[in-house]
Structure 1
């Protein structure tokens, strides 16, 4: 299937803005992540959701991260609950209201937060909510594979190092380099029961074990921190929209959402780089979301 046909299928799932919509119709999403050391990542994922046209963006973070994330943007709804004794009840009362959730940006690797996040993933899965797991979220599930196994409503977004670690956990042997990468991603998806994996790289490899795509959209040579957070946030919103669509889809919602997120992120990277060169940061990429989204995903 051609990239243009895939993008057309995604475009048809984007909500058409009208006076009849009310707040929440275009997406209520959550981002689970953010600790004392890492506050930028959950912000980038959450603000991307709003800049793409999502209505509400919630961030569930550790208490120390909350004031900082709130200071970045008044548009975000910030819940300082990840290290709270009442974290289970606090998060579980919000999950049913959300259309999709991102797990992992700025989560860190403190065992307490990883254990809490495991419970959150279980709760999201029980309610059959779409989910994107990124960054330290991928690290979290790599030792807890039953959290994601057989979940076809899920996207994992490992980079090269994270994928190699995941591959070894799943198959019991190492995978190194890029030779045979498509087959390695596909076999890992199948071993995990059909989850969708996006192995990020020079070309992003997307597979659910049955359908395997490569995203070769031109990006930039700049590698600033935070690009993966823009990617995970955009995938989560695409996933919410596509999952809610009643269209006859040519590919699973997770595969379409993954491809859409990869294309948009690469376009924002290229647009930002053309303006700022090696000075480009993820904030500059986010400022390009409107023009890139309008060009590729807005209804013509």
Structure 2
């Protein structure tokens, strides 16, 4: 066991598996797929791939091709988080975002933006029956922003994840979604599509729990990933972000500021969902999408901080998305 974990801990700068084009077709038709891996050992390679993610804006495209994202979140206490995740997904470049929430916060969230399609069906007695048809059209599903920890909500979200498994929908899981996964590793074990978990330090410790290992972050992450399967990626948020998958650790630093306002994790989750949809379309592994999302949020923070300093909030970061995208990801 420890020998295997030791092998998993071996750390390359970047090790990006690619999907074959045949496998990409299977993703889109909902059939099972697996990775076909190629190796890279240069950080520059992953940066270059992030610059190839965005679909070109040509006249032959139609609405929805650049990404249809579903966000499951929001509660009477937390209406901002699902908004930040959803609007970030749109501003990065997804065409359509569907926000699934409870009835109570729905009107408030709708008032934040006319661009979001808010579906107040998460606490409906027939929630899954009503949600399932919408899942068919989604490229990526985000679970967790502002979700809350109500037992009834968790029951519905459990069924949502199980349905996403059947339909092989890629997942981004954050915030209260991670709280559920910490109790139910089985929900993502051997999941047949990419899953990206986005824990902060506290959420990571809760997630790995009593996982065997010597106590180091790398050891615990390796053991956790061995337990849940090869399609799971950890995007660990800290002063230096770490993107950890089996046998691979990619670190992202620079940018940002000392301002740690709430909502930045939601912006990350939303941005990541769009980048993840594009990475699958472009035949890249989730590492590329994770790197792009980390770079995006770090640079959003630094640009907004220059303007607003200590008074900066997550709301101030949203208008910076266009400029940061142009500088880092727009195809020349």
Under a length normalisation based on structure 2, what TM-score does the superposition of the two structures give? 0.84
* Residues 170-209 of structure 1: per-residue CA shift (max 9 Å, x gap): x16895xxxx323332332222212111111111111112
Find the partner of 1:212 among 242, 249, 263.
249
1:1-300 mapped onto 2 (5 Å cutoff):
1-151=41-191, 153-169=194-210, 171=211, 175=215, 180-194=216-230, 195-246=232-283, 249=284, 253-300=285-332
* Residues 238-281 of structure 1: per-residue CA shift (max 9 Å, x gap): 110111124xx4xxx22111111111110101111111101111
Determine helix, strand or coil for the equivalent of 1:97.
coil
**What is the CA distance between 1:53 and its match in structure 2?**
1.3
Determine helix, strand or coil for the equivalent of 1:93.
helix
Under a length normalisation based on structure 1, what TM-score does the superposition of the two structures give? 0.93
- Runs of 4+ aligned structure 1 residues displaced above 3 Å come to 1-4, 172-175
Answer yes or no: is the 8 Å Cα contact 2:213–2:219 preserved in 1.
no
> Whole-Å Cα distance in 1 between the matches of residues 254 and 120 of structure 2?
37
- Unpaired runs of 5+ residues, structure 2, are 1-40
Where relative contact order (Cα < 8 A, 6+ residues apart) is larger, the structure is: 2
Q: How many residue pairs were aligned?
A: 290
Answer yes or no: is the 8 Å Cα contact 2:53–2:282 preserved in 1.
yes
**What is the CA distance between 1:224 and its match in structure 2?**
0.6
Determine helix, strand or coil for the equivalent of 2:70.
strand
Calculate the aligned-residue CA RMSD, in Å. 1.5
